[in-house]
Amino acid sequence: MPLTSQSIPFQEVQRPSSAWTGWGQWLALITMTVDHVTRYLLPDHWNVGWASSSIGRIAFPLFAAMVAWHALFNTRSPLRYARRILVIGLLAQLPYLAMPRDHFQLNICFTLALGLFWGSWLFDVVRQSGTRRNTFITALLIALTGLAWLLIGPWVEYGRQGLLMIPFYMLAFQALSQPAEPLLERLWAALATLPLLLNAGLLNSSDMAKSFTVATCLAVLLLAAGAARHIPQVGYAMPRRVWLAWYPAHFAVIALLLLLME
């Protein structure tokens, strides 16, 4: 049976409160910086790797959640939003490559931008499909993007699992944010969270890292399920310039410190 705009998975999206994202911005930048400082700057004999495997594992699922949330509920042009993230990624790529690593890799902004583009496209294509012919074309296009996912995945940070985070977040957010009265709708809302949680468990190797990543996803899912309306506005909103510049700037500072420490 072809999906239509009246099907359960793709109802008209209601817009919940986004106040939590103001807090999320601060938490994401702090945990990301802790991750990178402990991983790249602090010597091994300090034994602080636990910070990267715990606190540091909050950052990516939180960034992906905020991108998916804004794409679904706040922005009129997800494509333009993805382009802005790509610009940040391009600015950060050179200092990012100065970090110790085994092979060439595109930074996390490419993961977020490609995941956003893919998730938004999938959401629109499936929602607009309504005839048998359109369903066949939709399936073919989705298969082609799946092939692209297989090819691109190894070249971006967090790999193929990372690229799936935003599409899975969007699926879960859309289902959880809608009023669910009939049993079928409540069941769909619960099932829609499973791909995200399973994928989050595959993002990292250690049990500690998996626990923090999945716990972060669960916390955001609770917000989508209704807890977001209880979150007050952040007392001091992060300046937009800081939010946009921090990722490339902090890598540039770390790269300079690594050069001076040689």
Query: What's residue 50's pLDDT?
Result: 87
| Residue 251 maps to a domain | yes
| Residue 7 maps to a domain | no
Query: What's residue 14's pLDDT?
Result: 65
| Residue 121 maps to a domain | yes
Of 110, 138, 196, 204, which is closest to residue 4 (Cα–Cα)? 138
C-beta of residue 188 within 8 angstroms of C-beta of residue 143: no
Cα three-residue angle 6-189-27, rounded to 5 degrees: 120
| Residue 13 maps to a domain | no
| Residue 12 maps to a domain | no
Q: What is the pLDDT along the chain (262 residues), one digit of tens a residue?
A: 223 333 334 455 567 899 999 999 999 999 999 999 999 998 777 888 889 899 999 999 999 999 999 999 998 899 999 999 999 999 999 999 999 888 899 999 999 999 999 999 988 887 776 555 567 777 788 889 999 999 999 999 999 999 999 999 999 999 888 776 676 777 888 899 999 999 999 998 889 999 999 999 999 999 999 899 999 999 999 999 999 999 999 999 999 999 888 7
| Residue 218 maps to a domain | yes
Query: What's residue 183's pLDDT?
Result: 66
| Residue 10 maps to a domain | no
Total count of domains within the chain: 1
The domain in which residue 119 lies consists of 18-261
Q: What is the pTM of this model?
A: 0.90
Query: What's residue 1's pLDDT?
Result: 28
| Residue 71 maps to a domain | yes
Cα three-residue angle 18-19-23, rounded to 5 degrees: 120
Of 95, 112, 202, 217, which is closest to residue 157 (Cα–Cα)? 112
The token pair that represents 221 in the structure block: 């899912």
